[in-house]
Amino acid sequence: MKNFFSIKNVFSVRNLTIMALLAALDVVLARYTTIHLTPQFTLVSFEYIPAAVVSALFGPWAGIVFGLVSDTVGYFSNPVGPYLPIWAISAMVANLIQSIFLYPGKFDWWRIIVARLLVMLIVTMGLNFIWQSIYFGAAAAVYYNSARIISNIIQLPIQVILIRIFGKIAMRTVQRLNANRQSI
């Protein structure tokens, strides 16, 4: 854990390529697999999977940068409402939380559950509520948050299972890439 905040090997060409591919996947998932209740309220989305994988494989710095880049690129590829950079803070904090529990590639059930619960409480119910209060007003933020609580409770088991499945697949793929690289 002494190298938890080290950026020494995070931003190599290979790792940046993997993160760029996952960022592209994040944008595609946000665009084509997201179900919106209203333009401002997401009911179901799968874009958390690439973010969790990057946070778990590459640590907090990569997760934070990934959150900023994928949120910004995702917005500009499919703008819904005005661009508010403060929303990127939510993505960055969510990835930091996931890095704390999942890095380096620890996809244990309890770690994923705790990480997703903390993201739900701190980011979804906390930061996003603040951003919505600023943008829409307190009454609308309370309405959206109450609907979001139900949505998050329903999605939590699905999120945990999908993060574990795709996280394990990503770990095996990266290990295979490392083995191939060493054999050259």
Average pLDDT, the chain: 86
Torsion angles phi and psi, residue 42, rounded to 5:
-90, 125
Q: Which residues contact 142 (CB under 8 A, 6 or more apart)?
A: none
Find out whether the peptide bond into 50 is cis, omega within 30 degrees of 0: no
Domains and CATH numbers, the chain: 13-183 (1.10.1760.20)
Is 26 within 8 Å of 75 (Cβ atoms)? Answer: no
Q: What is the pLDDT of residue 2?
A: 47
Q: What is the 3-state secondary structure (H, E, C) of the chain?
A: CCCCCCCCCCCCHHHHHHHHHHHHHHHHHHHHCCEEEECCEEEECCCHHHHHHHHHHHCHHHHHHHHHHHHHHHHHHCCCCCCCCHHHHHHHHHHHHHHHHHCCCCCCHHHHHHHHHHHHHHHHHHHHHHHHHHHHCHHHHHHHHHHHHHHHHHHHHHHHHHHHHHHHHHHHHHHHHHHHHHHC
Q: 111 and 101 in contact (C-beta within 8 Å)?
A: yes
* Spatial contact of 25 and 47, defined as CB atoms under 8 Å apart: no
Residue 78 pLDDT > 90, yes or no?
Answer: no
**Global confidence as pTM:** 0.86
Ranking 69-78, 102-111, 142-151 by mean pLDDT, the lowest is 142-151
For residue 14, the model assigns a pLDDT of 84
Determine the Cα–Cα distance for residues 169 and 145; give it in Å rounded to an integer. Answer: 33
Higher pLDDT among residues 38 and 11, named by residue:
11
Is residue 6 scored above 70 in pLDDT? no
Q: d(Cα 149, Cα 2) in Å, to the nearest integer? A: 36
Distance CA 120, CA 128 (A): 10
